[in-house]
């Protein structure tokens, strides 16, 4: 996707990380997810976005966000700075502005957006950033942990309930809009962002999973963990996850995109 990413080799040839990615349209009319992954024996970069805002708007938002993130990374990677994620917060804030200001041919704002979750692995240290409700998991043995937060309305409802700002009746009355995003790329001023203040040390055989909601709303965490744990490699795991989604036969199955990265 980006010719500037010359520091990476084909991820299928690296020996240190077992990496695989799969993206499928589901039962939707268009694919609004966009993703990119690259790796060598020293580093891994992965990003995925889930677009929203109509057939063309959502696809444009996610594609533009991925390409902009890669451009920012390319500039950073050519610098002499020690590897850290200090550049990601500023980059994502600027990408939010880029998506917010997307225009059609008549000059009207398109009003589209997307989620974003990205990871950078350097010397087995995992760094991440996310906005929206695409997820980041770490799988270690038979345990799976969601690393980031879903930036949706149920998060706000839970916060208000904990702080006694609403009662249970009000909570239940508003659950119908629980999946509405309260922070996303393209809103023109992010309200929430998850970012790793300190890197997470990956152990041998740890698996990192990035995915859009098309996966985790169809296949639960325990099922995901079992499939990954019992697969001989990450390509097989991706294929089995795809098969599991198909077996669920969900009437309006969303686009599903997922990236698996296993430390060797």
- Tokens 């990601």 appear where? 88
- pLDDT surpasses 50 at 6: no
Of the candidate ranges 19-23, 44-48, 51-55, 247-251, the one whose mean pLDDT is the lowest: 51-55
- pLDDT surpasses 50 at 3: no
User: How would residue 78 be classed by pLDDT, with cut points 50, 70 and 90?
Assistant: low
Collect contacts of 69-78 with beta carbons under 8 A, ≥24 apart: 69/95, 69/116, 69/118, 70/1, 70/2, 70/4, 70/5, 70/36, 71/2, 71/4, 73/5, 73/45, 73/120, 74/2, 74/4, 74/5, 77/7
- pLDDT surpasses 50 at 213: yes
- Tokens 């980006």 appear where? 2
Average pLDDT over residues 239-253: 96
Q: Is 132 in contact with 184 (CB distance < 8 Å)?
A: yes
d(CA 128, CA 117): 7
> pLDDT (tens digit, 9 = 90+) per residue, 137-179?
999 999 999 999 999 999 999 999 999 999 999 999 999 999 9
d(CA 123, CA 136): 19
The token duo for 237 is 């795991």
232 vs 83, higher pLDDT: 232
Residue 111 DSSP symbol: -
The whole-number pLDDT of residue 48 equals 97
- Tokens 């859009």 appear where? 212
Residue 2, CA distances (Å) to 16, 215, 257, 264 in order: 23, 26, 19, 26
- pLDDT surpasses 90 at 217: yes
Q: Which helix (H) or strand (E) holds 169?
A: helix 168-173
40 vs 192, higher pLDDT: 192
Angle at 215 between CA 221 and CA 196, to 5 degrees: 70
- pLDDT surpasses 70 at 55: no
């Amino acid at each position: 996707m980006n010719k500037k990413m010359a520091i990476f080799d084909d991820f299928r040839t690296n020996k240190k990380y077992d990496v695989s990615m799969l993206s499928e349209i589901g039962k939707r009319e268009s694919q609004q997810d966009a993703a990119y992954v690259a790796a060598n024996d020293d580093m891994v970069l992965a990003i995925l976005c889930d677009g929203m805002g109509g057939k063309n708007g959502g696809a444009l938002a996610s594609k533009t966000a991925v390409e902009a993130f890669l451009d920012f990374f390319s500039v950073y990677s050519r610098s002499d700075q020690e590897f850290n994620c200090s550049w990601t917060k500023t980059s994502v804030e600027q990408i939010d502005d880029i998506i917010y200001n997307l225009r059609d041919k008549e000059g009207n704002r398109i009003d589209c957006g997307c989620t974003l979750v990205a990871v950078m692995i350097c010397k087995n240290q995992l760094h991440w950033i996310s906005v929206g409700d695409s997820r980041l998991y770490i799988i270690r043995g038979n345990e799976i942990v969601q690393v980031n937060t879903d930036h949706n309305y149920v998060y706000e409802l839970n916060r208000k309930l904990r702080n006694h700002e609403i009662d249970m009746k009000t909570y239940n009355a508003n659950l119908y809009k629980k999946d509405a995003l309260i922070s996303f790329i393209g809103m023109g001023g992010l309200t929430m962002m998850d970012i790793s203040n300190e890197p997470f040390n990956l152990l041998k055989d740890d698996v990192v999973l990035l995915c859009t909601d098309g996966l985790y709303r169809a296949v639960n965490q325990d099922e995901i963990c079992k499939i990954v744990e019992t697969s001989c490699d990450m390509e097989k795991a991706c294929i089995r996850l795809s098969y599991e989604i198909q077996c669920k036969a969900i009437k309006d199955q969303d686009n599903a995109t997922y990236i698996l990265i296993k430390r060797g």
